[in-house]
Amino acid sequence: MPAILQLAARIEERLLERNQVAENFFDREAKRLALACREMSERFLRGGRLLAFGRGPYATDAQHVSVEFVHPVIMGKRALPALDLSLLFEPWVEALVNPDDMVMGFGPPEGDAHVWAALQRARARNAMTFALPGASGSYAVEAATPDPFIHQEIIEVLYHTLWETVHVFFEHRALGHDAGDAGFLYPFLGQAKQQTGNLVDEVAESIRSKVRDDSALRVQVAREQAEPIGNAAVAIRERLRRGGKLIIFGNGGSATDANDWAMDCVSPPSGWQPLPAISLALEPANLTAIANDVGAEVMFARQLIAHARPEDVVIAISTSGGSHNIMTALEESRRRGLLTVALLGYDGGEVKRRALARFPLVVACDYIPRIQEVQASIYHVLREMLEVLRRGDA
């Protein structure tokens, strides 16, 4: 079998391996998650905030949680208070946590003692705590797998379903509390409280259904995209051998994925070789300066002009494939002769139609959380294949 077909077969196997692990985990956890979400909705209505943190790659999960709750990906959903405290989470927990807050700590499959200690302090203040993973807290769960990439993907599905489910409880008018100054966000409040027993069961089944949707998408990607992913890995590996680096970027939740991918390159699982990579989304001073002084459409292109070298690889992550700053950066990359890769949703959008990326890898779905969850599987598998190819070079 030709080498690229062998690589594609391995990619397909690794993508599909995630499905059974995820389905088993959420079959077991769906009811608990629905109940946790009901409590979260009550706490938000009392003025509680979601405070999240983690270290290393798991800090990007806290970033993702924050943007999902504050700036919902679905128009018309309520903005809910959430913060990423990862940069200095232990002092911030001491300074900020109130009894109605929800505190979420992320870590590797084996857990993180520093995260657990901060969660314990928050719990002592009567905050609701999520240990992801962990052994104690309002919601604590053991890792479903020792594989750090698959573990992180399952946790991403978990917090996406928390975000989605909180809004289900709001919209079903399950809570009859007074929101005070926040009442304009919750116009249904003050109406009769509805029964939630059946709703919890319905939500639990909805969570299982979302996971099955992910599985179907991974099957489709494995069938249609395994060889393109393999070809992308080979092309990226060649640029790295020439001294290139990965330059990754995206907006919103895709920005957190760009950050995670870059960290997975420079701080990989034990025994892997670090790879040079940067995320342009990790530069808040540059991003805000460029957006304020020039315009948001060039916030990535302007950084590329400073950082890109001929041997580099540019990787754009976009659920829509139509973000102006993504397309502008890819156009700049094409002018410079850089290798371009794009992780896309829907039908690939303008990025694919205008052939702005040499390797457009598309999750054919029109719902952003599911796109992002399967995109995480793709870039984790791609990172793994870069290590496989490196060892083959050695």
pLDDT tens digit sequence for 368-388: 999 999 999 999 999 999 999
**Quick one: pLDDT band at residue 179, thresholds 50, 70, 90?**
very low
CATH number of 3-211: 3.40.50.10490
The pairs formed by 78-81 with CB atoms below 8 angstroms and a separation of 24 or more are 78/167, 78/170, 78/185, 78/186, 79/185, 80/44, 80/50, 80/166, 81/44, 81/48, 81/49, 81/50
Instruction: Kindly list the strands in the beta sheet with 128-132, ordered across the sheet, starting from the edge strand earlier in the chain.
Output: 82-84, 50-53, 102-106, 128-132, 139-140
Query: In sequence order, what are the residues at sequence separation of 6 or more whose Cβ sits closer than 8 angstroms to the Cβ of residue 355?
Result: none
Torsion sign across C-alpha atoms 68, 69, 71, 77? positive
Model confidence at 363: pLDDT above 70: yes
pLDDT bucket at 76, cuts 50 / 70 / 90? confident
CA angle 257, 160, 8 (to 5 degrees): 50
Stated pTM of the model: 0.93
pLDDT tens-digit series, residues 38-53: 999 999 999 999 999 9
What is the model's pLDDT at position 182? 36
Q: Where in the chain is the domain with CATH 3.40.50.10490?
A: 3-211, 242-362
Residue 178 has pLDDT above 80, yes or no: no
Separation CA 239–CA 228 (nearest Å): 17
Which of 20, 75, 77, 15 shows the shortest CA–CA distance to 44? 77
Distance CA 139, CA 289 (A): 39
Q: Does the pLDDT of residue 184 top 70, yes or no?
A: no
Report whether pLDDT(291) > 80: yes
DSSP code of 189? T
DSSP secondary structure code for residue 50 in this structure: E
The mean pLDDT of the chain is 93
CB atoms within 10 A of CB 202: 14
The answer on pLDDT for 200 being more than 80 is: yes
**Does the structural domain 242-362 have CATH classification 3.40.50.10490?**
yes
Q: Compute φ and ψ for 106, nearest 5 degrees.
A: -110, 150
| pLDDT, tens only, 255-272 | 999 999 999 999 999 999
220 pLDDT higher than 60 = yes
Beta bridge partners of 83: 51
At a CB cut-off of 8 Å and minimum separation 6, what does 125 contact? 97, 98, 99
Give the distance, in angstroms, between the CA of residue 143 and the centroid of all CA atoms in the same chain.
17
Are residues 10 and 385 in contact, defined by beta-carbon separation less than 8 angstroms?
Answer: yes
Q: Report residue 170's pLDDT band, with 50, 70 and 90 as the boundaries.
A: confident
Phi-psi category of residue 271: left, alpha or beta, with phi > 0 → left and psi -120 to 50 → alpha: left
Q: What is the pLDDT of residues 149-167, one digit of tens each?
A: 999 999 999 999 999 999 8
Rounded average pLDDT over 286-307:
98
